[in-house]
Chain A
Amino acid sequence: MPVANKPMTKSTARDLFPGALEMMILQSLRRQPAHGYALVQHIQQRSNNLLQVEEGSLYPALQRLLKADLVKARWDVSSTNRRVRTYQITASGLRRLEQEISSFEQMFEGISLVLNPGKSTAT
């Protein structure tokens, strides 16, 4: 049987919008370089476990960032003496993060305005 072109996306209660995960990864890496597992831990902690992200879905996002040269990676040994692949944000990664954040804030504000018309005088 021929396989459909796009792998089917698993439908969760609330999908993240495209690019959200990347943005969070970049933000985390801005603080300090980290490996995949640490990144997951960090994002889950910071979001108070509100974001139910599959741990593995981090990896396609990391590959996209790597491909776009927004992060770079190297094999390392962690403080707990484990072999880890540590990611580090690049200069262009930083620039992209700034752009993403500001466009995200705009979008978020727009959505909030529509969803909460009462508070429309916020600006």
Chain B
Amino acid sequence: MNWLPDIFRRRKIYGDLAEEMRLHLEERTEQLMSEGMSRKEAEQTARRAFGNSTLLEERSRQVWQMPLVESLGSDLKLVFRRLRKSPGFAATVILTLAIGIGANTAVFSVLNSVLFKPLPYPDAEQLVALHLIAPGAAGLADFSNGLRLSPSMYFTFAEQNRTFQSLGVWIAGTGNVTGLAQPHEVHTASITDGVLQTLNVPPSLGRWLLSAEQNPHGPKAVMLSYGYWQRRFGGDPSVIGRSIEVDSQPRQIVGVMPQGFRLVNADFDLLVPLGFDRNKQTLAGFGFQGIARLKPGVPITQANADVTRMLPIWMDSWSNGPGIDSHSFYQQWRITPALRPLKEEVIGGVGNVLWLVMGTIGVVMLIACTNVANLLLVRADARRQELAVRAALGAGRARIAWELLLESLCLGLLGGLLGVGIAYAGLRMLAAIGPANLPRLGEISLDVRSLGFTIFLSVLSGLLFGSIPALRYARARTSAALRGTGRTASLSRERQHSRDLLVVAQVAMALVLLVSAMLMIRTFQALRHVEPGFFRPEHVQTMRTSIPASLVADPQQVTRIQNSIADKLAAIPGVTSVGFASSAPMERIEFLWNSIHFEGKSMGEVTPLRLFKNVSPDYFLTTGTRLVAGRELTWTDVYGQRPVAIISENLARESFGTPSAALGKRLQEFPDMPWYEVVGVVEDVRENGVQDKAPAMVYWPSMTYGIYGPHTFDAQRTVTFVLRSDRAGTEGLLSEMQQAVWSVNANLPLASLRTMQEIYSQSLARTSFTLVMLGIAGTMAFVLGIIGIYGVISYAVLQRTREIGIRLALGEQKGRLRWMFVRSALALTGIGVAIGLAASVGLMRLMKSLLFGVSPLDPFTYVSVMIVLAASAVLASYLPARRAAAVNPVEALRAE
């Protein structure tokens, strides 16, 4: 009610009260003096008649106080006074909790920001990824992410759909920007009309791209990302209307997207219109990611049905050229819509890892709580007599339990407060490290929900570890507690019991975490032993560059430029070989692909799809990919336009049995295209990362016959150069490479300068991230568990000093005495291990998707973890046991 002004009024009220009471005494004293008493006598009499003035004043004041709050205040004061008296205990507990709560809050914040929060687009729940699968297309499993959309699909879907407000397709790529100081490569996102409308985020400056700008013959426009605008233009608003050259095409800047805007999961510098030429589209060209916004209230199932309805329309409206029965071809593919919420697309498979990390960190927290509970039990034990006295004097059980609980709640909240700081620091560190392929990294923050989680966790943990001593000591039998201070009872079985239970729980939880960490270590080992299909990647430098058609139109000329760049690079001191390809291994650049058939093989079945790569001479020599049969390509092949190709070992074995049998065989992409002769077979390369099996590959020369006629040529314009050199990754080499490239053409940008080792490590990023997290959690659990065992045995030794003294005095062997303590620790560990094993067997199945080359029930892992735990338990208990054996019987019996 009106308690707030009460608080301010109180000071005056208390003042009035004190004054009034003083005046009362004074008046009485004067009265008595006037009746003939001496002053001293009168004062004493007046005071006696008045009563206990301090108490009365206190009671008068209480009238104005809020009983609950104020008693809580005074209780809190006591709690803090007690904690201040034992700073070591308080610091240990608060720090343990702070680390536990901090780690949990940090992980929860990541989980919250990545998995729970909606994507940063308006009405994000309406957004879907237009995901298609084609179970009938053999070989498609080699591609990540199912079947992409073709431009013709985009036209059909955009015009014929009944369930979408808007839809569009896009593709991420790179572009050269020239005319602004140095030429540089930028990340582009090429988008069709409908992409911006679907995401519906207004530009922070200027306007969106217009439909008219999608016309390949219309005005040329471009939008900037906020970051690029800041970096290159210093955030100058007059940039709108200015012109920049992208891939030698002048484009007018029409707008800037706001800070933090990402296109699904892509960071880009420029948004460029895709500009499909409608008249040139075929059914094929499945290279684009589709996104759409559902009409309000339309479920995904209905949208799937809508796409299913439109697919036949698409097949009937377009063709792959005259005389080709594409309709039945794609019917064999069984293209099926599998639309999914855009959020799923963005998050990908990282959810598994995050939940696993959250789970393990949660278990570490539980172990920390049991340790704290143990400490509190010891502490409450020390106060046993005091509590018993109070109980005997009439303090209610609830009252005593509340006090113990309040103390642990305070510890929990203090730990939580510090934990927030730790979580904040942790998140800052995470953002700084920026683990690869953690989506939505920029959105991770400590928000209200995270703080709510912290408070929840603090209170929960306080209740959890606080309730154990509270329950134990609130129902303590007064008489027993008062009597037994150790003279008669050496060790109360009951008291030791709850601590034993905690240790068993700790060992069980630590085992589970150690097993999971160990499995990750084994996974990592297995991955390191996989032959990736290249050799000594730390000595391979990569570099990407692109020659746009607007700069050099003729494909042959492009090839010559690339050839001379390769020659210049090879001339750099310390470089032993140079090659280039459409992408380096594991670079995660989209592959081209198509169905390939070999001469003489039956055409009846569906021809499987194969991934393509265009490679230069010496490419395999440079990456260290073994030639299994035949030879590499040569410049003579390239310039002579000889139709020759190299295939991967698995493709050769699949088609011809042995690699050498494949040599001389011919293969074809389209019926009217030339036959290519297989001149070499190379070892399999794990193109999609170490964990995925190597796809079947066809390696074309860097310049091939074009698809638009028998006498046209096509050169791979954007390529990754690879250099083998001991100097890979050094600044010196990089600047010499820059000089070499610019000496050929000063307008070429250099990008993606890294060693192949970095690319390789990145493909292991998810595993190593999981490994590090589980490693930390496992180690913490292990250390806490061992401390728990040590603490319990130490305390038991301390409690039983008298008994030990008697035993020794009666002639007990020291060895047997030590063994007695070690044995009890081993018994506890044994029970904990048994429970932990049972739990692990159940839980490790959940980890299956994260494991590689190791079974979730890997016996080595289980046995080694058990041995380590048992050995540590022996050690942790041996130290206090040795102390027990060293007890001097005389002192032990005299003590007390």
A63 at the interface (CB under 8 A from B): yes
B50 and A2 contact, CB distance less than 8 A: no
Q: B18-26, B538-546, B780-788, B793-801: which one contacts chain A?
A: B18-26
A57 and B28 contact, CB distance less than 8 A: no
A75 to B570 CA separation, bound complex (whole angstroms) = 103
> Which residue of B24, B53, B78, B403 is within 8 Å of A36 (Cβ)?
B24
Q: Mark B586-617, 1 if CB is under 8 A from A, else 0.
A: 00000000000000000000000000000000
Contacts of B403 in A (CB 8 A): 2
> Which residue of A4, A57, A73, A75 is within 8 Å of B56 (Cβ)?
A57
Most chain B CB inside 10 Å of its own CB: which residue of A2, A4, A5, A10: A2
* Known contacts A4-B395, A7-B59, A54-B51; is-contact A59 B71 (Cβ 8 Å): no
A17 to B52 CA separation, bound complex (whole angstroms) = 20
> Which residue of A60, A63, A82 is within 8 Å of B27 (Cβ)?
A82
Measured CB to CB, the closest approach of chain B to A4, in angstroms, equals 7
B64 and A59 contact, CB distance less than 8 A: no
Measured CB to CB, the closest approach of chain B to A58, in angstroms, equals 8
Measured CB to CB, the closest approach of chain A to B431, in angstroms, equals 47
A62 to B403 CA separation, bound complex (whole angstroms) = 33
B56 and A60 contact, CB distance less than 8 A: yes
Most chain B CB inside 10 Å of its own CB: which residue of A10, A57, A75, A83: A57
* Known contacts A5-B71, A63-B63; is-contact A56 B20 (Cβ 8 Å): no
Q: Mark B42-70, 1 if CB is under 8 A from A, else 0.
A: 00000001111101111111111000000
A59 and B56 contact, CB distance less than 8 A: yes
A62 to B60 CA separation, bound complex (whole angstroms) = 8
B52 and A59 contact, CB distance less than 8 A: no
> Which residue of A56, A66, A73, A85 is within 8 Å of B52 (Cβ)?
A56
Measured CB to CB, the closest approach of chain A to B13, in angstroms, equals 8
Q: How many residues of A contact B (CB 8 A)?
A: 27
A84 at the interface (CB under 8 A from B): yes
Measured CB to CB, the closest approach of chain A to B395, in angstroms, equals 7
Q: Mark A84-123, 1 if CB is under 8 A from B, else 0.
A: 1100000000000000000000000000000000000000
Measured CB to CB, the closest approach of chain A to B393, in angstroms, equals 8
> Which residue of B20, B394, B395 is within 8 Å of A59 (Cβ)?
B20
A63 and B17 contact, CB distance less than 8 A: yes
A60 and B59 contact, CB distance less than 8 A: yes
B848 at the interface (CB under 8 A from A): no
Interface residues of A in 29-65 (CB under 8 A from B): 35-37, 40, 54-57, 59-60, 62-64
A16 to B61 CA separation, bound complex (whole angstroms) = 21
A14 at the interface (CB under 8 A from B): no
Contacts of A82 in B (CB 8 A): 23, 27
B51 and A57 contact, CB distance less than 8 A: yes
Contacts of A55 in B (CB 8 A): 24, 28, 49-51
Measured CB to CB, the closest approach of chain B to A37, in angstroms, equals 5
A7 and B58 contact, CB distance less than 8 A: yes
B50 and A63 contact, CB distance less than 8 A: no
> Which residue of A54, A59, A62, A67 is within 8 Å of B57 (Cβ)?
A59
A37 and B390 contact, CB distance less than 8 A: no
Contacts of A67 in B (CB 8 A): 63-64
A37 and B28 contact, CB distance less than 8 A: yes
A54 to B25 CA separation, bound complex (whole angstroms) = 12
> Taking beta carbons and an 8 Å cutoff, which residues of A are in contact with B?
2-5, 7, 10, 35-37, 40, 54-57, 59-60, 62-64, 66-67, 73, 75, 82-85
Q: Please, could you name 22 A-B residue pairs with CB atoms under 8 Å apart, sorted by A?
A: A2-B78, A2-B390, A4-B393, A5-B71, A7-B55, A10-B52, A35-B20, A37-B24, A40-B24, A56-B24, A56-B56, A57-B56, A59-B17, A59-B21, A59-B56, A60-B63, A63-B60, A66-B63, A67-B64, A85-B16, A85-B19, A85-B20
